[in-house]
């Protein structure tokens, strides 16, 4: 007996599919999607068309043979779904579109709301100047409004609102609980049932207790997270996500790697988890000699409990409804029920919650399941006929089909396609089922027998580590994610590409042409990233890592494998790859210029497989939460903290660092510090290297630049790390005082801050500086090439010609004698600076 709940990698019979419920599902889906995308009026139009189609279908079925007459119930279901689409669904869409809170949101009003929590709070991983690096500071909480008021005036609304609030305020709130809050409204995104977004600045006031089953589910999740803690930080955060979809403790690095490698579906509990849970219950029930109906009832109870435990996410609800239909078919003795179960799930959920029609999770879940039900069995049988073992054929076909059918959806909605997802999922497949089954067993044992649960967790630990390893290496492949046009055009183009690939494989005459096209595309889009010649370049002294919108700088110390890191960017994965490409083994010092997330977010990655001597910071301690996170990371590794002050000097064989700033007092630490004040408290370093002076400025703005000028400091440098990612808040007199030959701007592509400023770039170019940017050149190295200063962008060969304007991989203007060579000779260690003590770190 085979239970087919989702169409995931399970054997599928060769029989015909039952298509009778598909027209009703298409009606519900098309009607709700059209009503959300084009306006409420489109929904009844689809319903009327469906009603007319139901009449025609009834007449056609009534005049035929027995096979035709089987479609008469389908005509009745289609008519009912059309009528439900015309009235209740249209009314809900109209009410959501004209909800009074929408107008309040446009005006930015503050309102008092009593609402019911609809889903568990979802963590928001943010990056930027005030964001928490690699952690969760805010959560999104969908709620259904019960009552609303503003200024004593009642607002007649029963819409859906998305709260944005501090994670610590909502940690004890449960699904189904009533809360009272004051929220500042803002407009919601278009094409959704959500009528407003509410920014909640204060803790919610709970009213009553949540339902007992939600309290029990939350207790089980907490116990499971606790026993998962016996593993390391990353597997302990991943295991609850694999089993019950709880990603609250999942490190951001792992989350991004799973997304990039196309394995994020493993942490979004859906059909495969439901199939495993229900299948396990059925097997145990039948081994206990229970009848089919008793077994189905027990599996149904387990299904309900599992859905409550995981939460009411779109993919979970879709899988739950499909599982319920499949269990009902088991009781009735029906076989081949996968397609009717999928159609029934679309009908039920589309009528219950119209917004699911445009939810990415729901769309991907339905499309993937349809592909696995309709396409995968045929392809698998074709491979078996060609001599491939059945299990191997299923393992190859399932991820391939899932990728092909979902690629247009992902391309249209997300604007990118993972090119490594098929291979990554093939490698991950052998351990997914054992990890899920044993993880579910550990979750059940956790509240009652923690010691046994911990033992089971230890058993599944290697499997979880394997999944992380696969995702990490797949995500690190150059070109792992292909950027694609988003929207309808992007989806259509991706669908056309998939059709070309399928047709090319299907017909022998086109296979050779398809192989040639694939080879050419790979050669053009990936080869330059994979085979970057000469990286790292010889005699490099500084590398600005491409870490996105942030700073991640690496200074050579003159000893192989040893570097000094200045700032770590917002993304641990990006900095880790940059350090790997530079073959870094030891980091005697990490300098954090200030505590904004785009400079400290990747700190933990520096410790991965490398020895770190110390972490140095300036006098600033704001934002307070960022300081706490830095302390937590360093304390966990047993690495000492060092505070730098103006006048300190640090030396290595071919590198000397002089601390120039901050010279002004730094504001006391606060949780939400002013961004400009934090920027102006950046540590400013002057590095003396074999290629000349390098001035590292952090994010200093106008006030701090003026302080440096007023202090009479000799700011002249051959290389300038442009302050604040090229912000317009840069003094022309400061640039004149530095007079750099090379200006390196560490900045993220298409950032929302307008960095780098055209004014700053123009000022640098007019001063004759070669302007290098990480957003256009990737990792950027400053090198000493044949005794002259040069800049090399990763993957591009240096061009041997002078530079008059900005650019990459070119020589700087003719070198001038280093202004400090006589006073601070290279190779002298520990010499006392003018204003402070000397520190020597190994």
Residue 127 predicted with pLDDT over 50? no
Per-residue confidence at 526, pLDDT binned at 50, 70, 90? low
- Predicted pLDDT of residue 517: 65
pLDDT of residue 137: 63
β-strand pairing of 138-150 with 194-200: unpaired
- Is the confidence at residue 823, as pLDDT, over 70? no
pLDDT tens track for 130-153: 444 444 467 889 999 999 998 888
Give, in order, the Cα–Cα distances in Å from 376 to each of 370, 380, 514.
9, 6, 22
pLDDT given at position 302:
84
pLDDT band per the 50, 70, 90 thresholds, residue 12:
very low
pLDDT of residue 784: 87
Of residues 369 and 782, more confidence is placed in 782
The number of C-alpha atoms within 13 Å of 11 and in the hemisphere containing its C-beta is: 9
Give 817's pLDDT tier (boundaries 50, 70, 90): very low
| Interval 151-169: pLDDT, tens | 888 999 888 999 988 888 8
Sign of the torsion angle spanned by Cα atoms 101, 102, 103, 108 = positive
Tokens 């200006």 correspond to 743
C-alpha to C-alpha distance for 504 and 514, rounded to whole angstroms:
6
pLDDT at position 594, please? 93
Model confidence at 510: pLDDT above 80 = no
Q: Is the pLDDT of residue 587 over 90?
A: yes
| Average pLDDT score over residue span 73-80 | 92
Residue written as tokens 């002298």?
Answer: 828
Joined tokens for residue 385:
């006929």
Label the pairing between strands 615-617 and 586-592.
Answer: parallel
Residues in the chain, how many? Answer: 842
Predicted local confidence at residue 114, as pLDDT: 93
Residue 190 clears pLDDT 60, i.e. is over it: yes
Q: What is the mean pLDDT of residues 395-413?
A: 84
- Mean local confidence (pLDDT), 105-130: 78
Residues whose CB falls within 8 Å of the CB of residue 642, separated by 6 or more in sequence, listed in order: 589, 614, 615, 616, 617, 839
- The per-residue pLDDT for range 793-809, each reduced to its tens digit, is 885 333 333 333 333 33
Residue 626 pLDDT: 86
Residue 3: band (very low, low, confident or very high) from pLDDT cuts 50, 70, 90: very low
Q: Which of 510-524, 546-560, 818-832 has the highest mean pLDDT?
A: 546-560
Tens of pLDDT, residues 662-712:
876 665 655 555 678 888 999 999 999 999 999 999 999 998 999 899 888
The alpha carbon of residue 568 and the mean position of all alpha carbons in its chain are separated, in whole angstroms, by: 19
| pLDDT at residue 616, rounded to an integer | 95
Convert the pLDDT of each residue in 548-566 to its tens digit.
889 999 999 999 899 999 9
Q: Please tell me the least confidently modeled range out of 125-134, 712-721, 801-810.
A: 801-810
Rounded to 10 deg, the angle between the 421-445 and 212-228 helix axes is 110
Task: Tell me the average pLDDT of the chain.
Answer: 81
* pLDDT category of residue 308 using cuts at 50, 70 and 90: confident
**Mean pLDDT confidence for 16-33:** 90
- Domains, the chain, in order of start with CATH, read 100-210 (2.40.50.140), 540-814 (3.60.15.10)
pLDDT above 60 (res 824): no
State the helix-helix crossing angle for 22-38 and 90-97, rounded to 10 degrees: 20
pLDDT at 630 over 80: yes
Average pLDDT over residues 337-356: 86
Per-residue pLDDT at 125: 55
Q: What is the pLDDT of residues 457-494, one digit of tens each?
A: 999 999 999 999 999 888 878 767 777 777 788 888 88
Q: Which two tokens stand for residue 711?
A: 């202090």
- Pairing, β 178-186 against β 205-207: antiparallel
Q: What is the pLDDT of residue 268?
A: 73
What average pLDDT does range 2-21 have in this prediction? 52
């Amino acid at each position: 007996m085979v239970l087919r709940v989702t169409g995931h990698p399970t054997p599928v019979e060769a029989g015909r599919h039952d298509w009778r419920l598909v027209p009703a599902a298409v009606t519900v889906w098309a009607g709700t999607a059209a009503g959300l995308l084009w306006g409420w009026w489109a929904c009844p139009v689809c319903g009327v068309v469906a009603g007319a189609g139901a009449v025609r279908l009834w007449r056609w079925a009534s005049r035929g043979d027995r096979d035709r007459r089987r479609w008469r119930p389908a005509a009745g279901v289609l008519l009912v779904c059309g009528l439900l689409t015309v009235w209740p669904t249209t009314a809900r869409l109209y009410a959501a579109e004209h909800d009074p809170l929408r107008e309040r949101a446009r005006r930015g009003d503050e309102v008092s709301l009593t609402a019911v929590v609809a889903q568990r709070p979802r963590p928001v991983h943010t990056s930027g100047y005030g964001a928490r690096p690699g952690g969760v500071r805010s959560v999104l909480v969908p709620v259904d409004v019960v009552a609303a008021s503003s200024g004593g005036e009642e607002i007649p609304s029963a819409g859906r609102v998305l709260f944005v609030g501090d994670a610590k305020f909502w940690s004890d709130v449960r699904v189904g609980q009533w809360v009272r809050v004051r929220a500042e409204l803002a407009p919601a995104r278009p094409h959704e049932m959500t009528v407003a977004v509410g920014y909640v600045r204060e803790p919610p006031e709970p009213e009553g207790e949540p339902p007992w089953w939600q309290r029990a589910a939350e207790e089980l999740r907490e116990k499971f997270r606790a026993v998962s803690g016996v593993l390391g930080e990353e597997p302990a955060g991943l295991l609850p996500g694999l089993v019950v979809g709880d990603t609250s403790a999942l490190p951001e690095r792992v989350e991004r790697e799973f997304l990039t490698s196309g394995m994020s579906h493993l942490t979004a509990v859906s059909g495969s988890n439901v199939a495993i849970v229900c299948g396990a219950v059925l097997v145990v029930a039948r081994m206990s000699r229970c009848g089919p109906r008793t077994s189905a009832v027990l599996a149904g109870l387990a299904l309900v409990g599992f859905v409550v435990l995981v939460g009411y996410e779109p993919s979970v609800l879709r899988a739950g409804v499909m599982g319920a239909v499949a269990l009902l078919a088991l009781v009735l003795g029906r076989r081949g029920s996968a397609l009717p179960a999928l159609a029934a799930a679309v009908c039920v959920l589309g009528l219950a919650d119209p917004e699911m029609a445009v939810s990415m999770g729901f769309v991907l879940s339905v499309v993937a399941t349809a592909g696995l039900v309709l396409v995968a069995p045929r392809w698998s049988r074709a491979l078996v006929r060609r001599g491939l073992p059945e299990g191997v054929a299923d393992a190859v076909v399932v991820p391939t089909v899932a990728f092909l059918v979902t690629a247009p959806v992902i391309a249209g909605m997300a604007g990118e396609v993972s090119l490594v997802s098929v291979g990554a999922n093939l490698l991950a497949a052998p351990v997914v089922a054992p990890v899920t089954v044993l993880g579910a067993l550990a979750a059940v044992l956790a509240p009652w027998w923690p010691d046994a649960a911990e033992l089971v967790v230890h058993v599944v630990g290697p499997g979880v580590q394997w999944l992380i390893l696969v995702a990490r290496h797949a995500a690190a492949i150059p070109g792992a994610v292909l950027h694609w046009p988003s929207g309808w055009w992007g989806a259509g183009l991706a669908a056309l590409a998939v059709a070309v690939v399928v047709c090319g494989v299907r017909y022998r005459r086109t296979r050779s042409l398809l192989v040639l096209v694939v080879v050419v595309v790979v050669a053009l889009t990936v080869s330059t990233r994979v085979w970057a010649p000469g990286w790292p370049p010889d005699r490099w002294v500084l590398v600005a890592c491409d870490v996105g919108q942030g700073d991640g700088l690496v200074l050579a110390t003159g000893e192989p494998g040893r570097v000094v890191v200045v700032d770590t960017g917002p993304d641990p994965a990006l900095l880790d790859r940059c350090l790997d490409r530079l073959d870094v083994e030891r980091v005697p010092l990490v300098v954090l210029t200030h505590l904004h997330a785009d400079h400290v977010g990747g700190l933990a990655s520096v410790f991965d497989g490398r020895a770190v001597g110390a972490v140095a910071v300036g006098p600033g301690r704001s934002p307070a939460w960022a300081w706490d996170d830095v302390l937590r990371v360093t304390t966990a590794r047993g690495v000492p903290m060092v505070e730098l002050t103006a006048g300190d000097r640090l030396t290595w064989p071919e590198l000397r660092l002089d601390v120039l700033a901050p010279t002004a007092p730094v504001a006391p630490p606060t949780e939400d510090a002013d961004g400009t004040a934090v920027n102006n408290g950046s540590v400013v370093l002057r590095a003396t290297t074999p290629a000349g002076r390098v001035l590292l400025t952090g994010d200093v703005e106008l006030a701090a630049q003026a302080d440096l000028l007023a202090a009479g400091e000799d700011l002249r440098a051959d290389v300038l790390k442009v302050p604040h990612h090229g912000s317009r808040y840069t003094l022309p007199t400061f640039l004149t005082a530095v007079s750099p030959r090379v200006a390196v701007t560490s900045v993220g592509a298409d950032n929302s801050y307008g960095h780098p400023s055209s004014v700053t770039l123009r000022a640098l170019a007019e001063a004759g500086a070669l302007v290098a940017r990480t957003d256009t050149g990737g990792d950027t190295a400053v090198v000493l090439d044949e005794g002259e200063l040069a800049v090399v962008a990763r993957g591009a060969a240096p061009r041997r010609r002078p530079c008059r304007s900005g650019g990459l991989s070119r020589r700087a203007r003719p070198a001038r004698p280093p202004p400090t060579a006589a006073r601070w000779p290279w190779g002298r260690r520990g010499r006392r600076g003018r204003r402070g003590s000397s520190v020597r770190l190994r």
